[in-house]
C-alpha cells in the first residue's frame, strides 16, 4: 500500500494545498491503483517557506518529501512516483541531505511540542495513539496527584505564554487552593502580529494539548476545562472539536476517566478577537460572558479564578510539553536547555527571512543561530538589522546582539521578552521608528481602556511617534516618550499596558540615531516614512515608460526613450514606480 500525505495546515492551504489534495484524490480514484494507494492528510511540519508539502510513502516504507507542489506537479508525482515507482528527483526536499535548505532548517531543532506536527493525521485519534498518545495520561493517573505536580516541578517547565512562571508551582497553587469546584483553562488566544505557534500546534496535534490539560486537571483536582481559542483560527477550532469528540468516545474525557475516578469535560470557547483577552483575567471575564477586561490581582486565578473558583491557566505550548515530560521523565526534560530555562522553545520565524516557518529549538541556542543558520538569513540579500521578539509586548534586539541566548533571563536583560515566541526579522529596509509606531498603534487600538495610563498614555505616545515619522518631531519628544513609558508601565493594571512601551524603549535604546535623524535631518534612512522621502529618476533612465503605466497620480512625465521625471507635488510616494523599474533608474532619497 502506497501512501500520499498532503500537508493541510493553514500555511499549506494558503499556498494551494487543497487543490493539490483534490488533484491526488482524482488521480487515485481514476487510476488502476485506487485500491493500493491511500490518501492521507497531515499538518504543518514547520517548513512554511516550502509549502505545499507532499510526502509519498512507498509500500516498503521509504519516505520521499516533495516541496512547493502545485496541481501540475502533483499529477506528475502521481504518474512518475506512485505509478512508475521513480521519484521526481527535481521536486524532492531531502532533510537528510547535508547542505540542503531542509537539512539546515530541521537538523538544529529539538522537537517536543511539535513532535507530531506534520507527522500524524491531526484528525485521527488512532494516529495519535500509534505514536504513544495518551500513554502519559495512563501513567499519570496511576501516580499520586502530588507526584504528578512534583514531576512537572522537577522538569523545570516554565509557562510558554509570556512571563515564564514555573508551571509546576502554578499547579501546586491550584492544588492547594480550597474548593470543591476547580477549572483548567488553555489560553489559545494568540494575537501577536507574526505569531502562529499555537495555531500550528492545535492544527497539527490537538490531542497532545488535550492530554496535557487532562493530566493537569487530574493533578489539581479540576472537573471542567475551557480552551479559549481565537475565532480567527477556524481550522484549529475545527480540529479541537474533533479531538474532544474522539477523546470523549474513547474514555479519555468524560466520567471516570480510565477508571481513575475523576471526571473532566472540556469546552472550546471562541474568542472575539480582542488582544487583551490574552491576559488571563480578561480571558476569564470573556468566558464568563463579560467584556474582556483585566482585574486587579491578587487574588490570583489559582485562588479565585473562573466563576470565583480555583483555576489553572496555561497556554497551548505549555500543555503540549506535559505528555512528553510525564512519558520521558522530569530529568530528561531538565537536561535540555540552560540552568534556569529548561526544555525547548517554539518560535514563529516571519518577516525578511529566507526560510520562514515554525521552529522548535533547545533553550540556550542564540538568536543568531536561529535567524542565520536555521532561517537562512535575509531573503532580500540586505544585511539584517534586528529581530522583534515577543510581539507588541516585546522589544527589538539589534543584529549586534544576535549572540543573545534564548533564555528567559538573558532575553529580558535586553529589554525584550521571550513572550509566546513570535520572531519578526527585519533588514536594513526597515525603519525602526516606524516599527515602534506600528506596534504602539496596535497596542493602543487593543487597549481595553480600563486604565487611564494605558488608554491615554499610549495615545499620547502614538501622537508623538506620528509627528516624528511625519517630520514634525522635536528632540524634547524623546524625553517625553521615555517619561510616558515609565508612567504607563507603573500605572497599568495588566500586561498589555505594562509592556506596551517596550518596542519604543528598545528602539530608543538601540536605534536612537534613527530617531535623531528623523527629527534633526528630516531623514528616514530606510526610505519608509513617506513625509521624509522622495522618489527621483536618475540619468540612466531609458524611457521605457514602465513606471508611467503604474503611477496612480500621473506624476511621471517624459518622452518615450528619453529620461523621465517625477513631479513631486503629485507624487503620493506609493513606491509602485520603484518596484516596477527593471533598470535601477529610480532611487529613494
Cell of 52: 505545499
Rounded average pLDDT over 133-158? 98
Cell of 495: 500586561
Residue 164 binned pLDDT confidence (cut-offs 50, 70, 90): confident
Residue 418 binned pLDDT confidence (cut-offs 50, 70, 90): confident
For the chain, where do the domains classified as CATH 3.40.50.11540 start and end? 125-333
Cell of 305: 479564578
Rounded average pLDDT over 581-587? 93
Beta strands in 240-279 (DSSP E): 265-271
The listed CATH number (3.40.50.970, 3.50.50.60, 1.20.1440.230, 1.20.1560.10) that belongs to domain 432-521? 1.20.1440.230
534-588 CATH: 3.30.70.20
How many CA atoms, within 13 angstroms, populate the side-chain half-sphere of residue 135? 12
Q: Would strands 384-389 and 556-557 be described as parallel, antiparallel, or unpaired? A: unpaired
Rounded average pLDDT over 150-172? 94
DSSP 311-378: EEEEEHHHHHHHHHHHHH-HHHHHTSB-SSSBSEEEEEEEES-SS-EEEEEETT-BHHIIIIIIS-S-
Residues 524, 526, 527, 528: is their CA dihedral positive or negative? negative
Most distant CA pair in the chain, distance: 85
For the chain, where do the domains classified as CATH 1.20.1440.230 start and end? 432-521
Q: Give the model's pLDDT for residue 417.
A: 87
Does 180 sit behind a cis peptide bond, omega within 30 degrees of 0 on the bond before it? no
Do the Cβ atoms of 321 and 215 come closer than 8 Å? no
Q: How far apart are CA 46 and CA 32, in angstroms?
A: 34
Q: How far apart are CA 317 and CA 314, in angstroms?
A: 8
Q: How far apart are CA 6 and CA 8, in angstroms?
A: 6
Q: How far apart are CA 393 and CA 464, in angstroms?
A: 19
Residue 295 binned pLDDT confidence (cut-offs 50, 70, 90): very high
Q: Give the model's pLDDT for residue 421.
A: 86
Rounded average pLDDT over 404-423? 90
Cβ within 8 Å of residue 85, ≥6 positions away: 58
Three-state DSSP class for 422?
strand
The listed CATH number (3.10.20.600, 3.30.300.30, 3.30.420.40, 3.40.50.300) that belongs to domain 344-427? 3.10.20.600
In the DSSP assignment, the letter for residue 9 is: S
Edge-to-edge strands of the sheet including 183-188?
A: 265-271, 224-230, 183-188, 311-315
For the chain, where do the domains classified as CATH 3.40.30.10 start and end? 2-106
Q: Give the other-Cβ count within 10 Å of 329's Cβ.
A: 14
Rounded average pLDDT over 429-433? 96
In the predicted structure, residue 162 carries a pLDDT above the cut 80: no
In the predicted structure, residue 1 carries a pLDDT above the cut 90: no
Residue 391 binned pLDDT confidence (cut-offs 50, 70, 90): confident
For the chain, where do the domains classified as CATH 3.30.70.20 start and end? 534-588
Mean pLDDT of the chain: 95
In the predicted structure, residue 30 carries a pLDDT above the cut 90: no
Residue 345 binned pLDDT confidence (cut-offs 50, 70, 90): very high
Q: How far apart are CA 454 and CA 387, in angstroms?
A: 25
Report the Cα 554 to chain-centroid distance in Å: 41
User: 2-106 adopts what CATH topology?
Assistant: Glutaredoxin (3.40.30)
Percent of the chain with pLDDT over 70: 100
Superfamily name with CATH number, domain 125-333:
NADH-ubiquinone oxidoreductase 51kDa subunit (3.40.50.11540)
Report the Cα 116 to chain-centroid distance in Å: 17
In this predicted model, what pLDDT tens digit does every residue of 171-202 receive, in sequence order? 999 999 999 999 999 999 998 888 899 999 99
Q: How far apart are CA 119 and CA 207, in angstroms?
A: 13
Q: Give the model's pLDDT for residue 183.
A: 98
- For residue 458, the surrounding DSSP H or E stretch is helix 452-469
Backbone angles phi, psi at 574, to 5 degrees: -75, -20
Report the Cα 35 to chain-centroid distance in Å: 40
Report CA Rg, the chain: 26
In this predicted model, what pLDDT tens digit does every residue of 244-286 receive, in sequence order? 999 999 999 999 999 999 999 999 999 988 999 999 999 999 9
In the predicted structure, residue 163 carries a pLDDT above the cut 80: no
Residue 34 binned pLDDT confidence (cut-offs 50, 70, 90): confident
Rounded average pLDDT over 371-380? 96
Amino acid at each position: 500500500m502506497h501512501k500520499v500525505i498532503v500537508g493541510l495546515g493553514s500555511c499549506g492551504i494558503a499556498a494551494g494545498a487543497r487543490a493539490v489534495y483534490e488533484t491526488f484524490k482524482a488521480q487515485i480514484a481514476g487510476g488502476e491503483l485506487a485500491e493500493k494507494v491511500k490518501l492521507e492528510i497531515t499538518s504543518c511540519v514547520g517548513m512554511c517557506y516550502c509549502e505545499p508539502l507532499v510526502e509519498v510513502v512507498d509500500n516498503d516504507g521509504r519516505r520521499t518529501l516533495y516541496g512547493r507542489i502545485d496541481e501540475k506537479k502533483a499529477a506528475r508525482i502521481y504518474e512518475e512516483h506512485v505509478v512508475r515507482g521513480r521519484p521526481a528527483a527535481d521536486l524532492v526536499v531531502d532533510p537528510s541531505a547535508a547542505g540542503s535548505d531542509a537539512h539546515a532548517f530541521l537538523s538544529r531543532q529539538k522537537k517536543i511540542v511539535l513532535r507530531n506536527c506534520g507527522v500524524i493525521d491531526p484528525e485521527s485519534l488512532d494516529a495519535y495513539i500509534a505514536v504513544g498518545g495518551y500513554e502519559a495520561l495512563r501513567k499519570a493517573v496511576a501516580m499520586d496527584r502530588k507526584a504528578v505536580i512534583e514531576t512537572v516541578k522537577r522538569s523545570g517547565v516554565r509557562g510558554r505564554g509570556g512571563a515564564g512562571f514555573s508551571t509546576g508551582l502554578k499547579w501546586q497553587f491550584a492544588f492547594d487552593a480550597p474548593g470543591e469546584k476547580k477549572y483548567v483553562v488553555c489560553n489559545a488566544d494568540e494575537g501577536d502580529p507574526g505569531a502562529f505557534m499555537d495555531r500550528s500546534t492545535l492544527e497539527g496535534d490537538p490531542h497532545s494539548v488535550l492530554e496535557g490539560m487532562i493530566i493537569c486537571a487530574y493533578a489539581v483536582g479540576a472537573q471542567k476545562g475551557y480552551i479559549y481559542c481565537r475565532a480567527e483560527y477556524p481550522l484549529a477550532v475545527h480540529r479541537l472539536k474533533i479531538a474532544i469528540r474522539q477523546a470523549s468516545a474513547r474514555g479519555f474525557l468524560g466520567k471516570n476517566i480510565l477508571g481513575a475516578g475523576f471526571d473532566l469535560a472540556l469546552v472550546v470557547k471562541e474568542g472575539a478577537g480582542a488582544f487583551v483577552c490574552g491576559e488571563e483575567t480578561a480571558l476569564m471575564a470573556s468566558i464568563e460572558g463579560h467584556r474582556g477586561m483585566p482585574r486587579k490581582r491578587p487574588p490570583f486565578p489559582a485562588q479565585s479564578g473562573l466563576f470565583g473558583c480555583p483555576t489553572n491557566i496555561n497556554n497551548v505550548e505549555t500543555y503540549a510539553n506535559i505528555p512528553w515530560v510525564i512519558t520521558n521523565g522530569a530529568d530528561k526534560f531538565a537536561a535540555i536547555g540552560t540552568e534556569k530555562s529548561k526544555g525547548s522553545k517554539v518560535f514563529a520565524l516571519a518577516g525578511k527571512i529566507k526560510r520562514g516557518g515554525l521552529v522548535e529549538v533547545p533553550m540556550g541556542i542564540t538568536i543568531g543561530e536561529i535567524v542565520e543558520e536555521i532561517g537562512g538569513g535575509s531573503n532580500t540579500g540586505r544585511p539584517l538589522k534586528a529581530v522583534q521578539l515577543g510581539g507588541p509586548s516585546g522589544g527589538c534586539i539589534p543584529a549586534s546582539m544576535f549572540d543573545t541566548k534564548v533564555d528567559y533571563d538573558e532575553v529580558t536583560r535586553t529589554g525584550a521578552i521571550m513572550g509566546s515566541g513570535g520572531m519578526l526579522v527585519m533588514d536594513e529596509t526597515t525603519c525602526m521608528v516606524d516599527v515602534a509606531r506600528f506596534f504602539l498603534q496596535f497596542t493602543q487600538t487593543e487597549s481595553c481602556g480600563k486604565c487611564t495610563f494605558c488608554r491615554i498614555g499610549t495615545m499620547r505616545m502614538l501622537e508623538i511617534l506620528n509627528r516624528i515619522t511625519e517630520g514634525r518631531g522635536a528632540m524634547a519628544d524623546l524625553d517625553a516618550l521615555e517619561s510616558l513609558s515609565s508612567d504607563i508601565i507603573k500605572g497599568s493594571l495588566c500586561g498589555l499596558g505594562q509592556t506596551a512601551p517596550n518596542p519604543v524603549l528598545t528602539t530608543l535604546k538601540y536605534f536612537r540615531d534613527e530617531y535623531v535623524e528623523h527629527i534633526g535631518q528630516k531623514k528616514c534612512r530606510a526610505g519608509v516614512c513617506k513625509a521624509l522621502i522622495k522618489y527621483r529618476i536618475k540619468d540612466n533612465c531609458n524611457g521605457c515608460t514602465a513606471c508611467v503605466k503604474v503611477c496612480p497620480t500621473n506624476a511621471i512625465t517624459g518622452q518615450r526613450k528619453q529620461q523621465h521625471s517625477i513631479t513631486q507635488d503629485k507624487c503620493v510616494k506609493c513606491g509602485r514606480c520603484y518596484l516596477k523599474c527593471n533598470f535601477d533608474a529610480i532611487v529613494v532619497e
